Amino acid sequence: MILQNTTTKLDKNKNWLALDSNVFRNLDFINFLTLKKLEFHIFMPTIVQLEVGYYYKARGITWEEFKKDIQKFGGIFIQWDNKLIPEAIRFAFIEKKHLPFKKHFRDFLIGVECKNIPTPLITYNKNHFTWLKDINIYTPEEYLHK
């Protein structure tokens, strides 16, 4: 696992989570993570950084302001590891009938990064990650009620 811009020592006793970009629309969940940030290591997969960073840019918010918002809940940026490409391609090929790569390549990249850490993924697109058998997938609401 390669982490970018962090000096955070990863504590195995904390809850580990990764966030999909669609989770950011649930401000209550993001506020929960901010309030409980000392209890979590919250990972930002590479693609999620791009998607949410683009959303910020489209609204005139700088990359530095984006990073400050992520730091509010202790978010840790994952740095892309090229060694994961063959694994993403393998899963995409296996799942090509019901998750066409053209529409779901982001999901495969997010999934292999989460599997590599390993950490549960919080997403509203659980059906896009049914191929991930080694980690738990939750919606924000499911995670809060588990």
Tell whether 10 is covered by a domain: no
pTM: 0.88
Mean pLDDT of 74-79: 92
pLDDT of residue 102: 76
Mean pLDDT of 135-142: 97
Q: At what angle do helices 46-58 and 101-116 cross, to 10 degrees?
A: 120
Residue-number span of the structural domain to which 52 is assigned: 15-144
Q: Is the pLDDT of residue 66 over 70?
A: yes
Tell whether 100 is covered by a domain: yes
Tell whether 2 is covered by a domain: no
Tell whether 103 is covered by a domain: yes
Residues 6+ apart with CB under 8 A from 41: 8, 10, 11, 14, 15, 16, 17, 74, 76, 119
Domain tally, the chain? 1
